[in-house]
Amino acid sequence: MIGDDSMATNLSFALARHCRKHGIALVYLFGSQAREGARLLAGETVSVHDPLTDLDVGVVTIEPLPDGLVRTKYYAALYNDFVDMFKPLRLDLVLLEENHSVFQLEAVKGICVYAVSEERRDTYEMMILRRAADFRPFLEAYLRDVLEEA
């Protein structure tokens, strides 16, 4: 079914509203269900074919993440606001700043569905590309050593 423009507009508006509310700079859809998530935001009807899959949604905040319990409450509030937007897809929400640069690069290679500004997006993506290039050899060596021990 081709999307309903009013539904797409409502979802895009809701996404932007939630991003402003929670101080989100960037939102990426990545992983195996990224295209389905983008179709959903475009107002198309999507269905779940494999109940074990989820939609990976990575967010980057405008300000540094808070610590401790404040971070937990922040994540819970953000998750609660995002989960309904992406139904029927199961949401796996990731605070990208909590992960290493190679993981963040995988998110960046996905679909950016919200950016507070193109400048912020470009700056973040270039920073992650540089960090991932520097970190990847160390990660690969570590994983190789761990696999050899197993």
Q: Where are the domains of the chain?
A: 5-149
pLDDT at 122: 98
- On the question of pLDDT at 3 being above 60, the answer is no
Mean pLDDT value across the chain: 90
pLDDT at 6: 55
Three-state secondary structure readout of 101-129? HHHHHHHHCCEEEEECCHHHHHHHHHHHH
**CATH code given to domain 5-149:** 3.30.460.10
Torsion sign across C-alpha atoms 137, 129, 89, 63? positive
Q: Which residues are paired to 109 by β-bridges?
A: none
